[in-house]
Amino acid sequence: MANHFRTTERQGSDDTGRVLNVVPDANPQVSAADDAFAPAPVSTGQFDVIGADEPEAVHVVTASEPADPTEQPGFTSVFAPLASDDSPAVSRTGVPTISFKNVSLVYPAQPNKPALDGVSLDIYPGEFVFVVGHSGSGKSSLLRLITREQRATGGQIIVAGQDLGKMKNKKVPYLRRQIGTVYQDFKLLPDKTVYENVAFALECIGKPRSVVKAQVPEVLRLVGLGEKMDNFPDQLSGGEQQRVSVARAMVNRPPLLVCDEPTGNLDPAISLGIMKLLDRINRAGTTVVMATHDREMVDSMRKRVIALEAGHVVRDQEKGGYGYYGAL
Ligand SMILES: Nc1ncnc2c1ncn2[C@@H]1O[C@H](COP(=O)(O)OP(=O)(O)OP(=O)(O)O)[C@@H](O)[C@H]1O
């Protein structure tokens, strides 16, 4: 699998051994061009910055919203190229990262009402896709199929070249290592610090201590929590807790990020900070699929929008708005 978050040079450490400054790989060798999880090539095209086609969005910075870490003096990271406004040009050809072919999902508790019915879609490496729809339309079910938390009852799902219907249960953890997940309710461990919560994600998959010590501080700096590594979740605002969960999802540098209402518990100003962070992660090549009810955010970001109604795809629109689901 392509590892587009490689870091080669590190400078300095504090007395806990944490890396203080990480210099980006001068020449990242992204080799798996035909890998379904390969990052999208970076384009020279103008990126649709939030609000670019709309009246400029008012961004209220609150005390609890951390400043954009990449705009801080001296910040360097493997993610630093994200500071540019160039958006990745997503080539929707080749091998999709996610492919649904006529997928249905019927929960045993509701045998006569499929949660998903005849869903076909392809999502390519580097895309940012919003999934919208009324409550109960099937958004979370669709995401749970991608991570194999649910199995389709009909059709075929391919993720990263693997047929999830044929995948043995023992292989599922390997699939999930390639998928970062962010949920509305953060799912942080309350008795672990910010650092430990993120480190735990790497320790669980057997990463060596040296990797943990290098990657955890870096990703926490990326999300603007470099100063709060030793805090516990209950000492953080909701926005900060969600940043920890984004850091935890990203620390293993997965090529695919699946987010289920990541801003659902956050006020608009804090949500914007989270969305900018996810946008930046996407511009580094990570494919992002996000279920959301956040109309304003979808309208301002102008990404691909897949709208569901009663388990059916009723709209799949490039640079779409939230709309009224089926309608543009
Ligand atoms: N575990 C389950 N067992 C039975 N039915 C379920 C289960 N999970 C979801 N459903 C049903 O499947 C349908 C789709 O639910 P889903 O949670 O995917 O919708 P959603 O669009 O994510 O909704 P929301 O926006 O409220 O989160 C609904 O009719 C729901 O009641």
pTM of the model: 0.77
pLDDT of residue 269: 83
Average model confidence (pLDDT) for the chain? Answer: 78
Model ipTM value: 0.98
Domain ranges for the chain, please list them. 7-90+125-145+166-317
Q: Give the distance (Å) from ligand 1 centre to CA of residue 301.
A: 26
Question: Does residue 188 surpass a pLDDT of 50?
Answer: yes
Q: How far is the CA of 89 from the centre of ligand 1 (A)?
A: 33
In this prediction, residue 126 has a pLDDT band, given cuts at 50, 70 and 90, of very high
For residue 75, what are its two tokens?
Answer: 């910040």
Ligand 1 binding pocket includes 141 (Cβ within 6 Å): yes
Q: Is 290 in the pocket of ligand 1 (CB under 6 A)?
A: no
Cα dihedral 148, 88, 243, 35 in deg (nearest 10): 30
What's residue 267's pLDDT?
A: 86
- Residue corresponding to tokens 């360097």: 76
Rounded-to-10 torsion of CA 64, 70, 74, 75: 100
Say whether pLDDT at 71 is over 50.
no
Residue 65 has pLDDT above 80, yes or no: no
**For residue 177, how many other CB atoms are within 10 A of its CB?**
14
Task: Tell me what pLDDT residue 215 has.
Answer: 94
> Out of 20-29, 187-196, 228-237, which region has the weakest mean confidence (pLDDT)?
20-29
pLDDT at residue 285 in the model: 92
The closest residue, in CA terms, to atom 13 on ligand 1 is 115
Residue 125 beta carbon below 6 angstroms from any ligand 1 atom: no
Mean pLDDT, residues 128-156: 97
CATH fit for domain 7-90+125-145+166-317, picks 3.40.1440.10, 3.90.1150.10, 3.40.50.300, 3.40.1260.20: 3.40.50.300
- Residue 63: CA atoms inside 13 Å, Cβ hemisphere, count? 1
Can you give the pLDDT at residue 286?
95
Report the run of H or E that residue 121 belongs to, with start and end.
strand 116-123
Atom of ligand 1 nearest to the CA of 311: 14
Measured by CA distance, the residue closest to atom 2 of ligand 1 is 107
- Using DSSP's 3-state secondary structure scheme, residue 44 falls into strand
